[in-house]
Structure formats: C-alpha cells, structure tokens
Structure 1
Amino acid sequence: MTEKPRAEPRIGFDSGPAGGWGSAKSVTGIVLREHIPLSGPSLLLQQNKPDGYMCVSCAWAKPAKTHPLEFCESGAKATAWEITNRRTDEAFFAAHTLRELEGWLDHNLEEQGRLTRPMRWDPASDKYVPVTWETAFEEIGRELRQLDPATVEFYTSGRASLEAAYMYQLFARIYGSNNLPDSSNMCHESSSVGLPESIGATVGTAVLSDFENCDCIFYIAQNVATSSPRMLHDLQDAVDRGVKIVTFNLLREPGLERFVNPQAPGQMLTGKETPISSEYYQVRNGGDVAALFGVCKALIEADDAKSAVHATNVSGSDAEPKDESAAAVAFAASMAAADKKHVLDHDFIAEHTAGFEEFAAAARAHTWDELERVSGLTRRQMTQAARTYAASDAVLLIYGMGLTQHVMGVQNVQMVANLALLRGNIGKPGANICAVRGHSNVQGQRTVGITEKASLVPLDKLAELYQFEPPRWEGHSTVDACEAILKGETRGFVSLGGNFVRAIPDTEAMEAAWQTLRLTVQIATKLNRSHLIHGEVAYLLPCLGRLEIDQQATGPQAVSIESSVAHFHGSRGRAAPASPHLLSEPAIIAGMAKATLTRGAVPWDQWVADYSRIRDAIERTYPETLKAFNERLFQPGGIPRPVPARERKWVTSNKKANFITPPRLFPDFGEGAVADGVLNLATLRSNDQFNTTIYGYTDRYRGVDGTRQVVFVNEADIARLGFAPGDLVDLTTAIDPQTERQVRGFRLVAYDIPEGCCAAYYPEANPLFPLSHHDPKAKTPSYKLLPIRFSRSHTVPIQ
C-alpha cells in the first residue's frame, strides 16, 4: 500500500539511537510494502558481498572482510524500491495524462513501480504511448543529427556503471559534444576543484584501513545515519578501541551521537548504545571556514607559544613569551608532556608544503571575536578541538556535502586540507582526507570521462582508439546547462538516470523553460517528475537496474563501481528483470549511438555482447588507473585507484601540497541580519529518502512523521520572530530581489539548531535557490546556505 502523508503529522518524538530496532522495523516495513517478503531478504544477503551486487544507494566502501549483513537501512530501502513487484506499465500511462501526473507527489510517482517498455510522448493525447526499441532509436538518432551538438546536453546521474559511463561519454564526444553535466556538479564538485589545488588529487586520500590506524577522527558536516549508515560500523569499531571523534555539524544528529548495531545481538537485546562523538560542535550555517580557522589559529598560536617557551628554556632567560594569549600559553604548556618542540609538524611543512607563512599570518590576524561571531562556536570550543587534534598522531578527516554545497564550497574543502597539513595528517596510515560521496558511482563516472572539462579527459587517446577528432571546447556543467536552457540555447537533453528537473535550483523557472526543448530522452527504471516535464519530442526508455541479471550474448554480465575511498568493485545482478522489454544501459547507449553517429570506429555490438571488452577499452584509455581491470574485478576489498597524495606525492603545479588561504570568513552577502528577520537556510535529507527519491514521510531521526513540509528552527528564533512551534509559514528568498522565490505552507519545528539558522528538506525547498547562488569556481549550488525570511502562511500544506 502506498504510504501517505498524515493530516495531522507527529512532530517532536524521541528517535532513539541510530540503528537499533527502529532501523530493523523500517527495513521490514518497506520490504512488506513493496510486496517482496521472500525475494527481498534473500537478495539483501548478496548486497555488497564479494560476488554479489553493489548497493544502488550510497557510495560507501565494500570491505574485503564483510559483515554477515553488509547493508544498512538506506541500502535495504533502495533495494526494495528497485525490486518492487509494482509496475508502471502501458495500462498506467493509458489511464493518465502527463498534465495530470504533474500534480502527483514525488513519492507517489516512483511508488507506481518499475517502468516496463519504451514509451514516446503523444502530443494529441498528452500521454506516453508504447514504441519499439528500433523505432525509438531511429527517431532519436534522426532528431540528434538535426541538432547542433553544442546545443545538446548529455546528463548522467550517479548510478550508472563505469562501463555505461565510458560508453556514454564516448557517444557524446563522437557526436561532437562536451556537454556532460552530471550529479557531481551538484554535490562534490567543490572537492574536485578544491583538492587538486591543495593536494593534487580530485578525490579524497583515505582508505578503509585508516579507520583501524587513526587515533582521532574529525567528522565534519555529514549525517552518517541518513547518508552512509554502513560507515557507522567503522565509526563504532574506532570508538571501541578508544578513538576520539570530534564532530562539527549544524544540527544535533542522533547518528553522530549514539548507535545500536542491528547486527550485534547483545546490543539489540540490552539496548546498549555506542556513543559516537566525544566532542560535538554545532557550527552556524556558513561558519565552517571560521570554525576551521579557529582550530588552526589555536594550533598555530600554541605552536608559537611553545616555540617561544622552548627558546626561553634553551637560552636560560626568564623573559615571558611576547604577544601570546594566556590560552595559547596554556595550550603550549599542556603539550609539554609530549616532550616535543613544536605543536605543528614543521618537518612535514618544510618538506612537503608551500604557502604556510601566508596562511599562518592570516590565522593569527583573525580575531577570536570575529571567529566566534561567524562560526557560532566559542574560543574555548575551538581551542578544545585543537587540543584533541594536537594530542593525536594520526587524524582521519571526514567531510560531506555540508561543506561542499556552499557558495564557499571550494574554500571549505581547502580549509580541511589546511588543517590536515598543519600536522602532516595526510599520506600516512590513519591520517588522510575522506570526502564522502553520495550516489553509488558518482565518483567512478568522473574517472572514466564523464566531465564537461575537456582538459581532464585523454582526448588524444580517444582519438587514436576510435578514429575521430574529439571536441576540445569546455562543455556545460549542470549550472551552465540550466543557464543555456533558460536562454533557449539548449535544444536537446539526454539523461542517463536521475531526476534532473527536481534536483536543480530555480525549479519553477527551469520547468517552464524545459518545455521549449526540442528533444528530451530519459533513461530510467522508475517514473519521476523529470519524465513529465518534457520537450517537443520526448522518449522514456526503461533500463535494467543494477540488481537485475543482465543477460547478453555471452551470458550474464558484471559491471564495475567506484566507492568513496576510490576503490573499484565488481557487481553482478541477482534479481529477475522487471520486464522482458528492458534493455541494459550499455545496450540503450549503443542503440542510440549506432542510430546517430556517422563517424568513429567503435565496436558497439561487441561491447554489448561482452562487457569485459568495454573494461578492456577502459583499461587501454586509462592504463595507469585500471591496470588488469578484468582480472582484478572481484578482488576482495576492490581495486585501489592510484592516488599519489596517499604517498605524499603532490601532483600540483609546484609539486607541493599547498596551504590556500581563504580571502574571507563568510560569503559576500553577509552573515545575515537576524534583527531583520533573516535566517540562513540549509537543505537536508530525511532518513526516508535518497537524494530526490522519497521512500516515505517519516524522518525518525528528527522526530517527524507524516509530512515533509517542515522547517527546523531554533526555539528562540521562533519566539523572536513572533511565531509558535507548529505555525505554518511561507519561506521567501532574501537575496536576488529581482524575482520572488517562495515555498508555502511549511510547519515550524523547534529543533536544536544554532540561532540565526534553519533547515528544510531537499528537494521541497529547491525553488528558493537562485541558479546564480553557487560556488564561483566549482559552480556547485549552495543548497546548504541561503538567506531567507518567514511570513505567516494561509496555504494548506501540499502533502
């Protein structure tokens, strides 16, 4: 039965710890709701196992030694959602116009079940009607040949395999387009831009064994229980051996506070909880640079003081250290027991880095008053975090989209790198940077060429292998693609998965502009809103899911995926296909390519018949990255991707790791005038969703059941603004006044969040975000920071 919102939602109940019986009950509920009580559990036993399938949810790593159940609540929901026995078939589309379906909620659209056969939009009836694969490919090819390749976007979501992604980018480039926007543009592009400048790597440097070798973890702006619950096993193991976890996060999140392992009978029966964070600091929205600068300042000033004390002891002088605060002297004194001359790792800094003096000078120059005001933390809190950091020999620094989806996302990421470099916490066991990705293979797609940046792709090698001249111009990122659509410059949009129009900012303007496109092609497993907002010619092409057996001419096929810790893993589908009319993603890409292209020497049919040939082609293109790809595909623990920074080799212009000094602590639009009623909004995911996929209306960890139309606000702010918890408000964007952006009928929820801040769910709050509101370098939309205002609502909440 489809889950529905409640007329009277429940708000404010105690969620209990992460995991535990709540997680077990939630998994059981969705398995029964999707009518898979027998097939679901047996399939879950093979999830993330050595010869099984990689989860289609988050990108967390698959260990060499797996747990008995190597799946989490989120992964189980994703699996149940994919192998449901519900079907969105011909009869469904015959009964509903697209205009009618536009009024449905996101959850209700996807809950109709799996798509079963290729469809084409019929303008006369405003319905999708069946079409043969041959006709679909022929007509798509004809439309593409009539369009200028520079006006066509080839979008990719994060679920496509390495094999499909490689074929897709090759199809686009032979066609003549570098417009390859993808979901990375909307999440971790700040990492892909910021980390290369700092350490010469486009990805994090951490590996799973770092959890076993670290003695401290700095956990920054990522909600583990909702976004990557399997990591809780690694965090629990670290805590059990005495590792301190220092958390910086906007909200108090149960998953970062306490955990009951559903796979530990002792914990489940006794209710014994593992405390996760030993220190928990709630940073104001947008205050991340200031908070990290505060920790760095405390370290640098303590080092200055300790050096002065050491110099005094050596000289025998009784003179007091000059220009040092009492706190810094006390910090230095506390470090004396370590019997070290310095707080910082000066040998590492001298040998491996550049830019330290400029960065240190900037840290010294920032006053504690301004760091406290912007970060929302006290000097004592930032100094305590620095003490914990300095007392540890190997610190693992973990961060997520809470840092990257900002107008200062690149600077946030580079501040994490700065903190790591101060004590050489990179490139040694237990000490590395872990950038936690979202989608299951969003990182891997970039590895094999899904990028709008032509300079990052081995174009000469592609030209040699496939006998064509690739376009050399820089293509469109997601923001660029949206701008081109708004201007009427884009004419075609081909989407390999995803729910683009729901995921992007400026939703209302984008949906209006979308319908001016000539061609839209959507490759998908389930119906979503992007399939309803269409161009003049529109196709909906259903594909096999990763969990399904992919039978081709040479037998069942395997695909490959890259995890958040840059390891490649094989994946074999185990479920029966949802329909005999489904094609695999590689087969669909090959079908479109053969119908479209008039050049290039690509053995499309051979590749579809045997995916190992695609992997051979990937290896020829990226020989250093994927050596012996096929031979090692199911290697326990995965194939490690070479990341030179792990070995302290810096692939930067100066061959050094670089301290990069942020020019400011907060974005240009200011810290937010609380007295004027402006609050800074961050968007969140509930524990009943994955990105734009909404499984239900319960956010167990935040005490919300029966609705998603809520905004979490500090109780003092609710009172100061003249409201009460439970009141309905409209949210209005407080920047870019040329166009009013508003969402209506949101219920105020009093929550433990810093004053001056608020939070609402993604994608419901997306219409508030201007397309121009993004990091200037990475162009990542600033979904974690937007000034807004409240006004009393007279709108009934849209459930």
Structure 2
Amino acid sequence: MDGDVKIEPYEGPAGGWGSAKSLGEILLREKVRPATARELVRQNKADGFMCVSCAWAKPAQPHPFEFCENGAKATAWDLTSLRTPVEFFARHTLTELRSWRDHDLEQHGRLTHPLRYDRATDRYVPVSWAEAFAAIGRELKALDPDSVVFYTSGRASNETSYMYALLARLYGTNNLPDSSNMCHETTSVALKEVIGSPVGTVTLADFDKTDCIFSFGQNVGVNSPRMLHQLQEAVRRGARVVSFNPLRERGWERFTNPQDPVEMATGAETRISEQYHQVKAGGDIAAIMGLCKWLIEADDRARAEGGAPVLDHAFIAEHTTGFEEFAATARATTWEEIERESGLSRTALEDAARLYAGARAVIAVYGMGLTQHVGGETNLHMLVALMLLRGNIGKPGAGMCPVRGHSNVQGQRTVGISEKPELVPLDRLAAQYGFQPPRKKGLNTVDASQAILKGEVRAFLSLGGNFLRAIPDTHRMEPAWAKLRLTVNIATKLNRTHLIPGEVAYLLPTTSRIERDPQASGDQTVSMEDSTACIHASFGKVEPASPDLLTEPSIVAGLAKATLPPNPRVDWDGWVANYSRIRDSIEETYPEDFRGYNARMAVPGGFHRPVPARQRVWKTGSGKAEFRIPKALRATGFADAPGQFRLVTLRSNDQFNTTIYGYHDRFRGVQGTRMVLFMHPEDIAAAGLSDGQEVGLSTVADDGITREVKGFRVTAYSIPRGCVGGYYPECNPLVPVWHHAEESKTPAAKSVPVRLLTD
C-alpha cells in the first residue's frame, strides 16, 4: 500500500485539473529537472519524439501540448533524475528485492551499467559490454536455436526490431513472440480472416468525417487518452457516440480538455457517449448479434413495405460473401437468448441499432475487451459483420479502429517480429542476406510459456518488457523461469522479471528514444508505426541517463556479432553507425510498405502503409469481405455455475501495462491500494459480504492446479451482476496459461471463471 487506503466515488470528468495535478505529482516524484520537463513540449510533434506509452496516432497538426496524462507519466518515468547504479546491487540481494513492490523497483530510477548475475552472492555485479556480449554469444552457440526465445516488448523502434528479427532468423529460429501476442494478436488473426488486412482500416482523418462512433471493450480515459481530443471534436460537430463496456469508465462519459483554458477555468465538460451499455463480460457477441438482428429485420420490413432500405445492398452484393447465411442466423436468434447472454435489454439494443442505422459513416473502436476472450476472434467477426451491413469499411469516416497498446507494437510486427513464417517474406530475406531462413513455426507468448513450464526452452532474450509479470499463471511460471540456462534482459529500469535469473543472467541497460543517440554519422533518428498504420520519425535530444548505456541497435548488433558467423551481406557496424542504412534494408525487404522510407518518415503526420481493406480490396480466401456465423453467443469459453463469477482484469489510471506509476486510480476512486475487487452491490449482498471486507479468488479449472490470490478488498462498483473486476497484473496468477483465444492464443484475461474465498 501507498499510505492510507481511501476508496470513494470520483465525480469529476476525464482530463481536467485531476490530470494536471497527477502530472505535477509525478514530475516532482521523479525529480525531473525543469529543463528536462520542457521535453514534453516536443512529445508527438513532427520534430519531436514519439510517445513511449501508447500507440495512438500522431497528428500532422498537433495540439500545443500533444500528450495525455499517462503519456506524460511515461515520459517522466524515462526522464527521471533517479538512478539505480552498480552500488544499489551491492547493497541488495535479488532475494531481498523480490519482496519489493513493482512500483518501487521501477521508481528507483534508470539502470546505469551492464550487469551479470552472481549466484554465489545472489547479486547483480558490474560487467563490461565486451564481456557480456562474449559470454552471451558463447551460451547461445552451445544451444539448439529452437530452445531459444527472442521476445520483444512493444516499445522497440522499427530499426531495432528489424535487426532483432534478423538476428533470430540468422541464428536459426522463428521463436519471436512479442507483446502483441498478449493483447491484439486476435485482431491480426480475425481481421485478416474476414477483411484480408490484419490491422485497422481508419486513419486519424476519418475522425473528422465520421458522424457516429461505436466503442466496444476499450477504456479511452486510461488506455488512449489523446483520442479524447478526436472524440470531443467529433461530438462538437454533431457525431454520436455509443459505448459498450462492462464497467462504466469515465473517459467514455465526459471530458474536460486540460488544454482548453476556458474549460479548465469554468469546469465545462463534454459529454462523450449518449448511450452507454454495460454488457456482461464475454457478452459482446450476443450484443452485436442483437444490433445485427434489428438492422436485418428492419430492412426486411422496409423492403416488404416499399420503404428505404436499411442495409447497403449494393455494397453487400459487390464486396461480401456469406450474407444470406448470416442474416438467416440473425433472424433465427431469439431476443431471449440475446438478452440472457449480453445482459442488455432488447430496448437498449434496439435504441443503439436505430442510432447506427441513421448514421452515414461509423467508426468501430475496440480494445482488449473484445480480443482477450476465448471467443475473441468471433467477437471481431461479429463486429466486422455489423460494419459490413451498412458498408462501413473502406469509405471516409468509417472503418475498424483497434486501439493498440504499446507505442510500436504494431510496427515491430510489420518489420518481421513474428513467430509465423508465412507472415514474413523469407524468400526475400534469403536473397537479401544469403542464408536459408528457418521455415518452422516459432513460439508465440502462450507457446513459449508452456514450453518453459515443460523445460523445453533453455534461453530467453527479452528486448524490453516485463514478461514474467505480463503473462498468465505467474505463480507457476516463476519457478520454471529460474530453471532456464540463460536469461538476457535489455531494459531501462529494474522490474520483477529481472529478479528471477536463469543459471546465467545478464541485465543490459539501454537508452530511451527520448535521449540523444550519437553514432559515427551523427545523431540518429528512429521510427515507429501507430495504431492507424502510419509511420513516424522520432528524434531524441536529452543526454543519456548514463555514459555506460548503449542504444538498442548497438546492443542487438553486439549480440549478433558475438553469436553469429560473419556475413558479408550484413554490416552490423554500418547499421549502427547510420540508421538510415537500416531503413534502406527495411525498404528492400518490404518495398510495398516502406517505399521512400528515409525521405517520407519525417513528413509531418508521417506516411501510411497501404492497407488494402481501406480501398475495399479484400485479401481473403474468397476475395471478398466475409460474414461469419458465430459458433456461440458468448465469448467466455466456459459455462456459468452457481457462485461463479466472470473476472475482468483491468488497468488503473496510474499505470501503463505492467508499469505502476502510483497507487491512485482516480477515475475509480481508489487510492492507496491495488488489491481491490470491484463487485455489483447486489452480488456483494447475495454473497453475504460487506463493502471493504477482505476476500480471495480461486480459479475454476479442472486441470488439478490450485490458482488463488488473497487479500482483495470488496468494493461496490457499477459492473454487471455475475462479473467482478481486479487489477492486472495482480490477477494474472488466476489466468491459466491455456485459457486463451482459440486461434490467436491471446490470453483470455477479460473473462476468467472464479469463485470467492471468504475463509
């Protein structure tokens, strides 16, 4: 806990003075110098740096302060004047540090020197870069490439990611899982199946042209707060917003723009959603089926009566397949089934469908509330079907808008970070670099976790991230992780994963993209891809936190040279000396996506990769956009039972992914703790509990493994009956590693079957 626990309803809007106060607090806590704090003005600007937090789009004409509260916290987290030097590890064993909170580990400050784990003293000790690279290279040479995992968090640049993927394939493996496997891999699988493009179809400009936005399972006020600017502007133009989400989240309700002096002075608020539907966790398939059913039957009536059609029949006939079968299924699905599975009334769904039918152009925004389910792919198939009914894909102001998490999680996939060989131009790589790339499918995050549990993985290299805290089944994974032969972590700050070393372990500190990157040809620039498939340059200006740090490309090159035989076609040193040469190589490998890469990336607003579905070109098996019939109306993958709840894992207002900035979830009114369990008041009463009582949770599973977490404080909240909410990653031990989306294997952390423990 961080001081006294205080839980009370928050009545304010998203943004406003609460955001300003929170920013001021973290700048003071991180002891960010005034000159350094001014870097915030460059955040997400054409001549500045790409936010190190979320992947929301970077506009060509930015606001004066083009950052949100959480983006500013992420910047302060990097620009901190606090340090975790060699002397820190001389004072603390890893056993002791494992008792520290996640927040305290990272908040201690930036790492300053490369480190090697010394088992005799249970401490990290300093090591030279040359010694570290040589030792890691020796270990990797002694291992079977298929027993080695090269993991990537979503923060690494395109340039680093391309080098890292090439390193893995030259080494001989496609074991390239990444953070996308944990969140939006379902998007990559499901959208590709039904519209032929694995990414969203909207651009930032579409928000200026839309007249309706439907949101599903996404918390804009926490996960992508800069989108609130586009939402506010759209609402002021008359666009209408409808939200579907189990919990009421303040960002989708109302917003006070911290950059508007009048609003800040007067406390004026913009109402965002005119309809807010609290769908049951895992009930989105049924809810969307209700919308589709109303539209199809309204169109049936209109045609029978000679009225104007409700559906876009010309679009459906020219661009889709499977409509008649889908429509028949929608007609046959009863409202009783829809209401039971969605938790929403027929009247509410009809109101939403009527609003959708009256819109000219609709954007479908969604997040992990759709992707992190056993039926995650079906969730997205249904959402696409809803959009296809009125031709809302591939026209101005309309389309699919998945909201990605980490800042370059989409870009790194574009340049080769993928365990799926069919998604990478291996023949082109073979010709470009004169080698035979591995063709065997690699391990994704879930596969890698299961292989670690079985002892089949011997080494794990992590380019950023906090893998052990991010994955499911934490209490099972940590003991298995300690049995690895080699662990290598490239990081800016200390986190929990670094404290569970393999037999041989190295912690390699790196610079942030906000910092200067001086190389032989001068200061270097990197690039990222945002959620809308737009590529942007990022310019670091701040002096590095320590003279002993290396940049990510330098570290990857050092590992490659120590591990791989010389290849005259791969000039690792030349790439490090001049990143434009890396981009030239990326363009050679991916000419359709990166034409004119070096010349175009610094253009204000960046440049968009081609997304065929935007032009209504459907790269599917049928050559058309496809309606898919859902296998079931619930996405949970399990049956309900008396006394059983659906657990939804959540992020707080004071965190980004596994990074905990503090213990104040302002929008939910929770301060001083993260061990809370959000419950409907009637569920609290029915269970014989009281608000504030301490309980535990146990996973309902038949695999013979006990999964329990205790110490939650019962907290009354606006959440559907039968559902409970708790924070990620604290609830990760309750998520079985096998509980994942059927095709993508994205962990199904948004509907986990649990029971209360009251003893």
Larger radius of gyration: 1
- Answer yes or no: is the 8 Å Cα contact 2:222–2:652 preserved in 1: yes
Aligned to 1:465: 432
Runs of 4+ in 1 over 6 A off after TM superposition: none
| Partner amino acid, structure 1, of 2:735 | F
Rounded to whole Å, the distance in 2 between the matches of 1:33 and 1:574 is 22
Aligned to 1:596: 563
Aligned to 2:531: 564
Rounded to whole Å, the distance in 2 between the matches of 1:82 and 1:118 is 18
- Answer yes or no: is the 8 Å Cα contact 2:636–2:752 preserved in 1: no
Alignment pair present for 1:127 and 2:131: no
CA-based RMSD of the aligned residues comes to: 0.9
Aligned to 2:662: 696
3-state SS in 1 of match to 2:597: coil
Deviation at 1:667, TM superposition (A): 4.5
3-state SS in 2 of match to 1:642: coil
3-state SS in 1 of match to 2:299: helix
- Answer yes or no: is the 8 Å Cα contact 1:15–1:702 preserved in 2: no
Rounded to whole Å, the distance in 1 between the matches of 2:341 and 2:550 is 52
Task: Give the 5 Å matches for 1:54-65.
Answer: 54-65=50-61
Rounded to whole Å, the distance in 2 between the matches of 1:757 and 1:540 is 40
Aligned to 1:652: 620
Alignment pair present for 1:13 and 2:18: no
Alignment pair present for 1:518 and 2:514: no
Aligned to 2:682: 716
Alignment pair present for 1:112 and 2:79: no
Rounded to whole Å, the distance in 2 between the matches of 1:791 and 1:253 is 27
Match of 1:681 among 606, 629, 647: 647
Rounded to whole Å, the distance in 1 between the matches of 2:637 and 2:447 is 22
Deviation at 1:735, TM superposition (A): 2.3
Rounded to whole Å, the distance in 2 between the matches of 1:251 and 1:735 is 25
Match of 1:344 among 308, 311, 331: 311
Deviation at 1:734, TM superposition (A): 1.5
Aligned to 2:28: 32
Deviation at 1:463, TM superposition (A): 0.7
Alignment pair present for 1:769 and 2:750: no
Rounded to whole Å, the distance in 2 between the matches of 1:124 and 1:567 is 49
Task: Give the 5 Å matches for 1:269-668.
Answer: 269-310=265-306, 340=308, 342-598=309-565, 600=567, 601-667=569-635
- Answer yes or no: is the 8 Å Cα contact 1:31–1:40 preserved in 2: no
Rounded to whole Å, the distance in 1 between the matches of 2:352 and 2:206 is 20
Normalised to the residue count of structure 1, the TM-score between the two structures is 0.94
Deviation at 1:5, TM superposition (A): 1.5
- Answer yes or no: is the 8 Å Cα contact 1:15–1:700 preserved in 2: no
Deviation at 1:155, TM superposition (A): 0.2
Unaligned runs of 5+ in 2: none
Once the two structures are superposed, what CA deviation does each residue of 1:310-357 show, in whole Å capped at 9, x if it has no partner? 2xxxxxxxxxxxxxxxxxxxxxxxxx5xxx2x1110100000000111
Deviation at 1:670, TM superposition (A): 4.0
Rounded to whole Å, the distance in 2 between the matches of 1:671 and 1:15 is 36
Match of 2:243 among 243, 247, 261: 247
Normalised to the residue count of structure 2, the TM-score between the two structures is 0.99
Once the two structures are superposed, what CA deviation does each residue of 1:541-586 show, in whole Å capped at 9, x if it has no partner? 0001111101111111000000001100000112110000000000
- Answer yes or no: is the 8 Å Cα contact 1:174–1:599 preserved in 2: no
- Answer yes or no: is the 8 Å Cα contact 2:376–2:635 preserved in 1: no
Rounded to whole Å, the distance in 2 between the matches of 1:398 and 1:547 is 29
Task: Give the 5 Å matches for 1:95-106.
Answer: 95-106=91-102
- Answer yes or no: is the 8 Å Cα contact 2:636–2:751 preserved in 1: no
3-state SS in 2 of match to 1:190: helix
Unaligned runs of 5+ in 1: 311-335, 794-799
Match of 1:225 among 221, 225, 248: 221
Rounded to whole Å, the distance in 2 between the matches of 1:377 and 1:641 is 39
3-state SS in 2 of match to 1:93: helix
Rounded to whole Å, the distance in 2 between the matches of 1:206 and 1:97 is 49
3-state SS in 2 of match to 1:630: helix
Aligned to 1:147: 143
- Answer yes or no: is the 8 Å Cα contact 2:654–2:663 preserved in 1: yes
| Partner amino acid, structure 2, of 1:628 | G
Deviation at 1:480, TM superposition (A): 0.4
Aligned to 1:182: 178
Task: Give the 5 Å matches for 1:729-748.
Answer: 729-748=695-714
Deviation at 1:729, TM superposition (A): 0.2
Alignment pair present for 1:265 and 2:297: no
Alignment pair present for 1:172 and 2:168: yes
- Answer yes or no: is the 8 Å Cα contact 1:56–1:440 preserved in 2: yes
Match of 2:48 among 45, 52, 60: 52
Rounded to whole Å, the distance in 2 between the matches of 1:301 and 1:284 is 24
- Answer yes or no: is the 8 Å Cα contact 1:468–1:599 preserved in 2: no
- Answer yes or no: is the 8 Å Cα contact 1:736–1:770 preserved in 2: no
3-state SS in 2 of match to 1:32: helix
Identity over the aligned pairs, expressed in percent?
Answer: 61
3-state SS in 2 of match to 1:474: coil
Once the two structures are superposed, what CA deviation does each residue of 1:3-32 show, in whole Å capped at 9, x if it has no partner? x623x4111232410000000000011001
- Answer yes or no: is the 8 Å Cα contact 1:84–1:113 preserved in 2: yes
3-state SS in 1 of match to 2:28: helix
Rounded to whole Å, the distance in 2 between the matches of 1:445 and 1:763 is 24
Aligned residues: 758
Match of 1:787 among 729, 749, 753: 753
